[in-house]
Chains A and B, each alone.
Chain A
Amino acid sequence: MSTARTAILDRLRRVNALPLKASEPDYPIWNDADPDAMLARLTGLLEQNHAEVLRLPRTALVTTLRERLAQAGIKRVATGTGGEFFDDITQALNGTAERVCFDRPLEEWKDTLFNAIDAGITGCHGAIAASGSLVLWPGPEEPRTLSLVPPHHIAILKASTLHTNLPAMMTDEGWSQGMPTNLLLVSGPSKTADIQQTLAYGAHGPSALTVLILEDA
């Protein structure tokens, strides 16, 4: 359809619109850089959006994870194949729940992931205090569907990776220099208000989101 391309672009060009400059008015955005304030804001907003948030020291990760899995009655867990918390997750699962590693293409085990997994565990690339969002940066070690298909998503976040707001995080990390195939902000379990404006959780993605925040990491 390159004729369509030429025709559309020609029509737009013929208009000779005057390109406007990039100077734009500022708008206020939450930008407190105090770590405690950021943490409090993130926790508050995530909880408002129906996520369960646990704050703990790094050394308590294994035990907390174990307890949470037991409490939630989680039997089969999907995990990635690497990442910073891989060993902790492995230890926590040992004797608590069966583990299925995401170590082959989705097509080869789609049915299992959709129908026989209770929870998926992932790390977080970071988080945004202003809007209460986790930033997920899926990759070969932690594929995209790990945080999407299982009914319960458990996310591990280091408090030190928290940023004040989205524009700040984009600039600090130079996102515009190179984006991953998929980058996600997640601010709670999946939800909908499509039936008579009544809020319901677990529309298509996870119906539960647990966030473990490692305060000293």
Chain B
Amino acid sequence: MHNRPQHFHAQAEAALADTELRANFRGAMDYLRDKRKTAFADAAEESAIRDRAEAIRQRCLSKLPELLERLESNCIANGIRVHWAENAEQANAIFTDIIQSHGGTLAVKGKSMVSEEIELNDAMAKEGITCLESDMGEYIVQLGRETPSHIIMPAIHKNKQQVADLFAEHVPGFEHTLDVDTLIQTGRRVLREKYRTADVGVSGVNFAVAETGTLCLVENEGNGRMCTTVPEVHIAITGIEKVVEYLADVPPLFSALTRSATGQLITTYFNMISGPRKDDELDGPKEVHLVLLDNGRSQAYADEELRKTLQCIRCGACMNHCPVYTRIGGHAYGTVYPGPIGKIISPHLMGLDATQDLPTASSLCGACGEVCPVRIPIPELLQRLRHEAKQDPRPGALPLRGQKAAASNTEAFVWRSFALATRQPALYRMLTWCATRLRWLMPKKLGPWTRCRTAPRPAAKTLRELMAERKQ
């Protein structure tokens, strides 16, 4: 049973109690933060790159419908077939159709968070199609029947001992070792056999270029190249927000992405795919498909402020720097995208009713906004979503799915009473007088608030009284 955002509090508590998990995250987050810091050693350069990346993403989003159409027509001109899906169900139906029309039973998959979003593996399994993860981290996570706990490093919650145990259980002929090279070679051996025999390769997309109809993939391992090159059919899936206008938009975004994500100047492979194998070519897929998925993104698009959520280039820096994420890890959130970005994107993907607790899981320290390479104002968006979770839509605005789900009658009553009291001087004086004179009645326990704090106690006299005494 996978975690769910509805149970965030219980899941977070369980994660906090798991010392091994906390140690794994602590080590990993320190490592990733250090790497990013070194990659952006020059503050002025960092700031300039972020300004540029933000400007590109905002420009491209401002023309989204037009760019999607241009992308589609240029892809088609290149021989790529383009499909559109409103939601997970439609996207999975597209996959099923394509794979079954080739009589396929095995698909190898490169890393793609969007495919996690539509739960592609489970949906394909129901159709008798095996969908095998080929990114090392994803492969480990899949062996353990888990979901990724980080968008860049899916198996970050596991240490090598846990990986070795998993291999011992699932990989025939594996001799237990803690040597990471041997562990990786074990994965390599299993997966190469799958690339060779798979009917279909699946991938995500980092940037889809409207100008040239090109799909860009950023990776280190080579599994992305394997999945998009060796099988006869390649299906790429992406959220509609990933389109960029020009090829020239790609280098600055690519640089911002790799430096923020893993602190690299560049990744080992940058793969630009602009079409299937041509008649005179001897390898490469014979068919390339692109699935464009909405799944709540157009909802985020509708509001100018919330639209900024779609600027995200999925670098993971916000989670690496989030004091909440680094302590509870990615699984506690119960959403595909964990951490700060998850808290602002999941309400659009899953509705605020399911995700109302997530925007509150932040100290609003601002670290996420400070590291985001495309300058998404995450803390402001969190506050906005906290508001939307309690309020009716503003006049004229489209409601967010599940809007007002977190509204509570008690809370509304308390605020109404407060508003009333502060508008009636006599009432206000009487209430504050009671609060100060009856302060010993204040309970010692105030729910979760006093679990690690002492309960506050009103002062002996009100501020007004103190000021009045002073004037005498």
Contacts and interface: CB of A to CB of B under 8 A. Distances in A.
Interface stretch (B49-57, B335-343, B349-357, B448-456): B49-57
Contacts of B85: 1, 4
B135 interface: yes
B160 A196 contact: yes
A195 B160 contact: yes
Contact size range, B: 35 or more
A140 B223 contact: no
Given A8-B294, A131-B266, A194-B154, A184 B251 contact: no
A85 B160 CA distance: 44
Given A9-B69, A195-B136, A203-B223, A144 B94 contact: no
B45 A28 contact: yes
A204 B223 contact: yes
A106 B283 contact: yes
A82 to B, nearest CB: 12
Contacts of B192: 114, 204
Interface in B264-301: 265-278, 280-284, 292, 294, 298, 301
A72 interface: no
A174 to B, nearest CB: 10
Interface in B394-424: none
A176 B211 contact: yes
A131 B265 CA distance: 6
B265 A195 contact: no
A27 B48 contact: yes
> Which of A27, A132, A149 is the most central at the interface, judged by chain B CB atoms within 10 Å of its CB?
A27
Interface stretch (A31-39, A63-71, A88-96, A163-171): A163-171
A168 B280 CA distance: 30
Interface in B59-98: 59, 61-66, 68-69, 78, 83-86, 90, 94
B329 interface: no
17 contacts: A8-B68, A8-B292, A19-B63, A24-B56, A27-B252, A110-B196, A170-B247, A175-B212, A179-B214, A180-B274, A181-B284, A187-B269, A196-B160, A200-B180, A200-B181, A202-B184, A205-B269
Interface of B: 24, 27-28, 31-32, 44-45, 48-49, 51-52, 55-56, 58-59, 61-66, 68-69, 78, 83-86, 90, 94, 134-137, 140, 153-155, 158-160, 163, 180-181, 183-185, 187-188, 191-192, 195-196, 211-214, 220-223, 225-226, 229-230, 232, 240, 245-248, 251-252, 254-255, 262, 265-278, 280-284, 292, 294, 298, 301-302, 304, 307
Question: Which 3 pairs from chain A and chain B are nearest by CB?
Answer: A205-B222, A190-B222, A194-B137
Given A8-B298, A181-B78, A197-B153, 7 more contacts: A12-B64, A24-B56, A28-B44, A140-B282, A179-B272, A186-B269, A193-B262
